[in-house]
Amino acid sequence: MHKGRIVFAAALATMGLGLSACAGDEGGPVAQDSPAASAPASSAPSSESPAADSGDDSAAPAEGDVTAPGTELKVGDRAVLPFEYTSEKKGTIAVTVTAIEKGAEADMAAFGEKAKGMTPYFIKMKVENVGGTDLSYASLKLDGVLEGGAGTGVVLFGDIPGKCDRESAPTEFTTEGASYETCALSATKSSPIIGASFDEGDAYRDSPVVWTN
């Protein structure tokens, strides 16, 4: 396991969601501490969203429908979302968050001394190709959400082998119905992580789709 590092990035204004994989200069995992991300913002899901009450199957959109910004879902629900990895690789995907699992502080050892006090959470998901475009080798990252809709204040790039392995889309992720499973790593030094958020693209930046247990 590579020794990671933590980078402080006070200027970062989002909750740390990304649609691409990154690594540290030495190839190890990277954590960026973002004070701006830890404060509640307009990106918290709105209770006025038509799909905010996801206690029944009506929360999951029909095949091909795009999930509205601000939708609140439960773990196990499926969201259909616009996806742009690069200008050439873009389309529509479906994301089902299958679990949000709490890890142990010891799991963060690869991130070095500055990770002390951080508790990791493993956001596990299934990703499907809905649009049938070539999205091979693309990767998706959801971010953890605290009670009240705040971001964690920590941006992580990397994984914890055997517990949270971040997988890119396989070579055959080019046709409608293709799918794969992956995990996004999030961490917090404060309140527990209670949800996972997708806020990519103009429509979702201020009104993300959020899954909670």
11-50 pLDDT tens trace: 222 233 332 333 333 444 555 554 434 444 334 444 333 3
3-state secondary structure 33-74: ECHHHHCCCCCCCCCCCCCCCCCCHHHCCCCCCCCCCCCEEE
Within a domain: 106: yes
What range does the domain containing 126 cover?
Answer: 5-40+73-212
Domain count, the chain: 1
Q: Is the full-model pTM beyond 0.85?
A: no
Which residues are within 8 A (CB) of 77 and not within 5 positions of it... i.e. 6 or more apart? 54, 59, 60, 96, 97, 211
Within a domain: 57: no
* 78-84 and 209-212 beta bridge pairing: unpaired
What is the pLDDT, as a whole number, of residue 74? 98
SS3 159: coil
User: What CATH number is given to the structural domain containing 102?
Assistant: 2.60.40.1240
Within a domain: 15: yes
Within a domain: 67: no
| 160 strand-pairing partners | 164
Distance of CA 175 to the CA centre of its chain: 23
**Sign of the torsion angle spanned by Cα atoms 96, 99, 104, 106:** negative
Within a domain: 56: no
Tokens of 93: 């995907």
Summarize the confidence of residues 95-117 as an average pLDDT: 94
The mean-pLDDT minimum among 12-26, 43-57, 63-77, 195-209 falls in 12-26
Within a domain: 93: yes
Within a domain: 60: no
